[in-house]
Every structure is written in structure tokens, then in C-alpha cells.
């Protein structure tokens, strides 16, 4: 038994190094499988549990690599050559990799976003599904603006998973739709001709947005935000703003809705307003016009 133990801990021979390396791998795997879940169970938030398991995995792998490198001493006698190659490689890749690592630290420490948040980072909109030291993975969503890169013209998931370098948090704005305030203000614009009853149209539009507006829940979210941020008073009541143009009266309804139901809420309001206007006999203005040509037989 003593001879076997002495052989196992003897790292001067290839066999001893293999035994110790196997032991390091086995212990590392055991720590990841057992300690990671145990540590994560102490956290109530599912997203915090996810981050805890990932952190344990990264730390264990790093320590295991350092121990194995110390056992095998792959750089003995070749330190100058190895340092030359390492310096060249670091000089080539430092800008992007170090920038991504610094971005990861910024994300983790400043809580720019976390897994589950809906964000716009690096020009990509979507839900965060994973954050690694180098990249953030997003489940992409579409945009109301018509773009060539997305076929979904609304804030709904497209099904694509997009990876964005963490360095982008330093080079571009980061928009978080759901970090502290899980609501957004939407607008619906209806043009009404001057010869129509635009006051009646305003009343119908106001009633429609009041039925959909989530002002009560948004008010609670604002009060919660004020505990952390000195935000000014916020008007959460749905309102309709009027603007006179050269062609029509523009009615713009502004209302607050949950961020993940914005498109559905706007669809519901649009249907209600169109039906109400048709029932009231109020036309909606259009930039185009229809011309009907009638052929008279008497002119022949």
C-alpha cells in the first residue's frame, strides 16, 4: 500500500503524473457535480442559482488546469521560447479578448443585465439566455422598424440565437427593457380628416387605451424604482395628444403596457379603435386617394 501511494504521489515519473492528473480530474468533476448544485440551492432566485453553478464550474476548471500544468511542467527548459509565443499571441488577440473579459466583469458587477432580461445590446434586441466570459447569447426578437436582417416586424421572438461580444457594452449603448421597470410607453397614431368629428374620435381612442393601459401595475413599479433611483414624477395616465398637420388632425395615444405584451396590447387597441370609428361613421385619413373614372356613353 505504501509503495502504491508513493508511486501515485511521485510526479517525477510519467506514470505518477498520469495517476495524479486522473485524480485531479476526478476531484474536479466531483466538485462541479456536487458542490455546484449544493451552493446554488442556497439562492432563492433561479437566475442567481444559474450564475452560481457557472461560477463554480469556471473556478474549478481554472484551478484544475493550473494544478495539471504544475504537475507536468510543460515549460521547463523552454521558458524563453514559450514567453515569446505567448507574447505574440496576446498582442494579436488582446484587444478583443481582454475587452470582452472586461465587459463580462462590468456586466457582473454593475448588473447591466442578467439572464432573463430583455435587452438591446450591440445592435441586437432579444432575451438574454446565457452570459459567458466572452459573449452574451440572446434569443433574438424583431423590431417595429422594417429591417433587412429581421422578418418579424414586431417585438416578438424570431427563433434565432445571436451571440454578441461582451466588449460591446463599452462601445455601444445598452438598453434594458426589464431590469428595474418591466413596462414601456407605446404610441398609436390615428389621422382624422378635418371634416370629420375628431373630438369624438379622440374620446373613442382615449377609452380604448384606458382599457388596455397597465398604469396601476406600472405605478407600483415606479414606486419600487424610487427606492434606488432619484427619478422625477412620471405621468402614467393614458393620454391622447393632438397635432394639426397640413392634411389632417393627428391623434397620438400614449399608454403604458408590460414590455412583453406590447404588440398584443397595440393590436387590441387598434382593433377596438377601428371598429369604434366605423360604428361612429368617422373616416381615417390616408395619404393616398382613390379616383374612380366613369365612362359616359353620351360622349361617344
At 77, the pLDDT band (50, 70, 90 cuts) reads low
158 or 199: whose pLDDT is higher?
199
Residue 75 CA to residue 84 CA, distance in Å, equals 12
* Level-2 CATH architecture, domain 183-280: 2-Layer Sandwich (3.30)
Phi, psi of 147 (to 5 degrees): -125, 155
pLDDT attached to residue 39: 66
pLDDT reading at 22 higher than 80: yes
How far lies 142's CA from each of 7, 58, 117, 120, 123, in Å? Answer: 62, 33, 16, 11, 12
pLDDT attached to residue 8: 47
- Answer yes or no: same fold for 118-176 and 183-280: no
To the question of pTM greater than 0.75 for the whole model, the response is no
74 or 206: whose pLDDT is higher?
206
pLDDT attached to residue 251: 93
Residue 203 CA to residue 186 CA, distance in Å, equals 18
At 2, the pLDDT band (50, 70, 90 cuts) reads very low
Range 236-264 average pLDDT:
88
pLDDT attached to residue 90: 64
pLDDT reading at 102 higher than 70: yes
The fraction of the chain above a pLDDT of 70, given in percent, is: 79
pLDDT attached to residue 252: 93
At 258, the pLDDT band (50, 70, 90 cuts) reads confident
pLDDT, one tens digit per residue, over 128-169 is 999 998 899 999 888 766 555 666 777 778 888 999 999 999
Task: For residue 46, count other CB atoms closer than 10 A to its CB.
Answer: 11
pLDDT reading at 78 higher than 60: no
Report for 87-91, 112-116, 154-158, 230-234: range of highest mean pLDDT: 112-116
| CATH code that applies to domain 118-176 | 2.30.30
pLDDT attached to residue 79: 53
Range 88-102 average pLDDT:
75
At 292, the pLDDT band (50, 70, 90 cuts) reads low
For residues 123-135, one letter each, b for 16 or more C-beta atoms within 10 angstroms of the residue's C-beta and e for the rest, the string is ebbbbbeebeebb
Q: What is the mean pLDDT of the chain?
A: 80
**Among candidates 276, 283, 284, 262, which has minimal Cα distance to 203?**
276
Question: Which stretches within 134-197 are classed as H helix?
Answer: 168-171
Range 245-268 average pLDDT:
88
Q: So where are the chain's domains?
A: 2-109, 118-176, 183-280
pLDDT reading at 191 higher than 90: yes
Residue 125 CA to residue 144 CA, distance in Å, equals 11
Range 230-239 average pLDDT:
81
Amino acid at each position: 500500500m505504501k509503495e502504491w501511494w508513493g508511486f501515485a504521489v511521485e510526479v517525477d515519473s510519467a506514470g505518477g503524473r498520469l495517476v495524479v492528473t486522473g485524480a485531479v480530474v476526478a476531484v474536479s468533476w466531483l466538485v462541479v457535480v456536487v458542490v455546484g448544485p449544493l451552493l446554488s440551492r442556497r439562492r432563492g432566485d433561479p437566475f442567481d442559482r444559474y450564475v452560481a453553478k457557472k461560477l463554480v464550474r469556471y473556478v474549478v476548471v481554472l484551478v484544475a488546469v493550473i494544478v495539471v500544468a504544475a504537475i507536468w511542467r510543460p515549460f521547463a527548459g523552454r521558458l524563453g521560447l514559450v514567453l515569446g509565443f505567448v507574447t505574440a499571441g496576446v498582442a494579436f488577440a488582446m484587444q478583443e479578448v481582454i475587452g470582452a473579459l472586461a465587459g463580462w466583469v462590468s456586466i457582473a458587477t454593475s448588473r447591466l443585465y442578467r439572464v432573463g432580461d430583455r435587452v438591446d445590446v450591440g445592435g441586437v434586441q432579444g432575451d438574454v439566455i446565457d452570459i459567458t466570459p466572452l459573449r452574451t447569447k440572446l434569443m433574438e426578437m424583431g423590431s417595429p422598424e422594417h429591417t433587412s436582417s429581421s422578418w418579424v416586424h414586431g417585438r416578438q421572438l424570431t427563433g434565432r440565437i445571436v451571440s454578441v461580444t461582451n466588449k460591446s457594452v463599452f462601445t455601444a449603448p445598452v438598453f434594458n427593457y426589464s431590469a428595474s421597470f418591466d413596462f414601456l410607453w407605446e404610441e398609436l397614431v390615428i389621422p382624422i380628416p378635418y371634416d370629420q368629428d375628431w373630438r369624438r374620435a379622440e374620446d373613442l381612442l382615449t377609452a380604448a387605451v384606458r382599457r388596455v393601459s397597465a398604469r396601476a401595475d406600472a405605478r407600483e413599479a415606479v414606486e419600487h424604482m424610487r427606492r434606488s433611483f432619484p427619478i422625477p414624477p412620471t405621468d402614467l395616465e393614458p393620454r391622447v395628444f393632438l397635432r394639426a398637420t397640413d392634411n389632417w388632425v393627428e391623434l397620438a395615444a400614449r399608454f403604458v403596457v408590460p414590455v412583453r405584451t406590447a404588440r398584443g396590447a397595440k393590436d387590441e387597441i387598434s382593433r377596438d379603435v377601428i371598429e369604434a370609428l366605423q360604428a361612429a361613421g368617422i373616416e381615417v385619413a390616408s395619404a393616398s386617394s382613390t379616383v374612380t373614372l366613369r365612362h359616359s356613353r353620351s360622349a361617344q
